[in-house]
């Protein structure tokens, strides 16, 4: 889209944070003085301050109000002392301008009002300019970069094409993904057309986030673990390769999924500087399978943070032992912080990782 490219050139990238930051260096597998840590959903319902804001505005209103989205993004960094911020948004925001209808229903989560059921539905998807339609996210990024004042880098993110397609076809969350897989198997041409549309949107969206100031980006393929290895290679991998190869060169890409123990090598083959690991794999074994050419992120079970400090310490020590202090390990959970997690336990984890990994490096 020529008009969008012209607009991209005018986006004010206000971040001049050096690549020397601990988190960015670790994404690039460079030596670091300790293990960096940030946490998925580090801004969220486990925080009383976040809940107070949500009492006044809906989830979508919060995402679309740049000042508030920036506020909760920075609040998480200030409260938890993590090594990276991640912009407060949602992976499904690009679906709204595509024309399928998006709302968040209390108790039910996201709902797609006009789900994809046929090739004709795919053909009706709207083309849109990400800077015009998703400009509120880009403005949030600019505000966060300004507020952080180079303290930590900012992560931008987007949903990966398969996970977005699944929401669009299922009409919301799903357990077995019957509709998605049936569409994938029986509407082959329409499936690949849908994935191409979503890949294009994702590339343009992430590149706009980078132009606005994001220094690292993460692709969330939260649902791709429902696929077997051959289905991943046939129906997903070509589009993930296209997506990752289209992201602005030099910007680290974190490629994250859950339930992906059998897909890790294929995910690596698709690209990305960092592969996200969930708690269903042993970090050392998964890293050995992936090889030293990529960094890894993870992989504490979020439920551990509902236990006590003794258990948190034991589990954290185990993961750090498995990482062996090698360049390229980013500590994170295997997925997002759960709403009932005590804030004190999250703070304890962050400081514990810093303490243990610093001691290990010095030792």
Give yes or no: 205 in active site.
no
Contacts of 156 (CB under 8 A, 6+ apart): 86, 87, 141, 206, 209, 210, 212, 214, 216, 217, 218
Whole-Å CA distances, 173 to 10, 107, 147, 223: 37, 12, 35, 10
Q: Give the integer Cα–Cα distance in Å for 303 and 171.
A: 28
Give yes or no: 54 in active site.
yes
B/e letters for 110-125, b = 16+ CB within 10 Å, e = fewer, are bebeebbeeeebbeeb
Beta partners for residue 333, in sequence order: 300
DSSP reduced 3-state for 92:
coil
Choosing from 83, 90, 221, 273, which is the catalytic residue?
Answer: 90
Give yes or no for a contact between 306 and 340, defined as CB atoms under 8 angstroms apart.
yes
Give yes or no for a contact between 84 and 23, defined as CB atoms under 8 angstroms apart.
yes
Per-position DSSP letters for 268-322, written without gaps between them:
HHH--SEEE--TTS-HHHHHHHH-TTSEEE--B-GGGGGS-HHHHHHHHHHHHHH
Choosing from 34, 121, 167, 204, which is the catalytic residue?
Answer: 167
Choosing from 41, 205, 273, 278, which is the catalytic residue?
Answer: 41
Beta partners for residue 110, in sequence order: 104
B/e letters for 321-330, b = 16+ CB within 10 Å, e = fewer, are ebbeeeebbb
Choosing from 45, 114, 233, 313, which is the catalytic residue?
Answer: 45
In the chain, the N- to C-terminal Cα span, in Å, equals 54
88: left (phi over 0), alpha (psi -120 to 50) or beta: beta
Q: Of the candidates 221, 73, 82, which has an alpha carbon nearest to the alpha carbon of residue 161? A: 221
Give yes or no: 45 in active site.
yes
Give yes or no: 41 in active site.
yes
Catalytic positions are 41, 45, 54, 90, 167
């Amino acid at each position: 889209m020529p008009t969008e490219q012209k607009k991209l050139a005018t986006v004010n990238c206000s971040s001049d944070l050096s690549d020397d930051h601990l988190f960015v260096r670790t994404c690039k597998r460079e030596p670091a003085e300790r293990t960096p840590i940030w946490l998925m959903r580090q801004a969220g319902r486990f925080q009383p301050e976040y809940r107070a804001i949500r009492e006044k505005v809906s989830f979508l209103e919060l995402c679309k109000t740049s000042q508030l989205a920036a506020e909760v993004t920075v609040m998480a960094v200030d409260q938890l002392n993590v090594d990276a911020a991640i912009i407060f948004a949602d992976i499904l925001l690009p679906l709204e301008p595509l024309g399928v209808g998006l709302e968040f229903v209390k108790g039910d989560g996201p709902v797609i009002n006009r789900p994809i059921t046929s090739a004709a539905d795919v053909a009706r998807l709207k083309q849109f300019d990400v800077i015009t339609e998703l400009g509120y996210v880009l403005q949030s990024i600019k505000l966060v970069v300004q507020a952080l004042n180079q303290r930590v880098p900012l992560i931008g993110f987007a949903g990966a094409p398969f996970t977005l397609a699944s929401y669009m076809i299922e009409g919301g969350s799903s357990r077995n993904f019957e509709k998605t897989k049936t569409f994938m198997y029986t509407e082959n041409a329409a499936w690949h057309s849908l994935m191409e549309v979503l890949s294009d949107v994702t590339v343009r969206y992430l590149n706009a986030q980078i132009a606005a100031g994001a220094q690292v980006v993460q692709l969330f393929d939260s649902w791709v673990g429902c696929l077997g290895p051959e289905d991943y290679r046939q129906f997903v991998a070509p589009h993930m390769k296209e997506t990752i190869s289209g992201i602005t060169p030099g910007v680290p890409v974190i490629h994250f999924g859950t339930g992906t123990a059998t897909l890790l090598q294929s995910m690596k083959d698709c690209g990305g500087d960092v592969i996200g690991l969930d708690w269903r794999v042993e970090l050392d074994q998964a890293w050995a399978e992936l090889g030293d050419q990529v960094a890894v992120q993870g992989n504490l079970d979020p439920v551990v943070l509902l236990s006590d400090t003794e258990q948190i310490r034991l589990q954290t020590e185990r993961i750090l032992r498995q990482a062996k202090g090698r360049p390229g390990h980013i500590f994170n959970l295997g997925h997002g912080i759960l709403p009932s997690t005590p804030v004190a336990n999250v703070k304890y984890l962050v400081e514990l990782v810093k303490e243990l990994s610093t001691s290990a490096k010095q030792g």
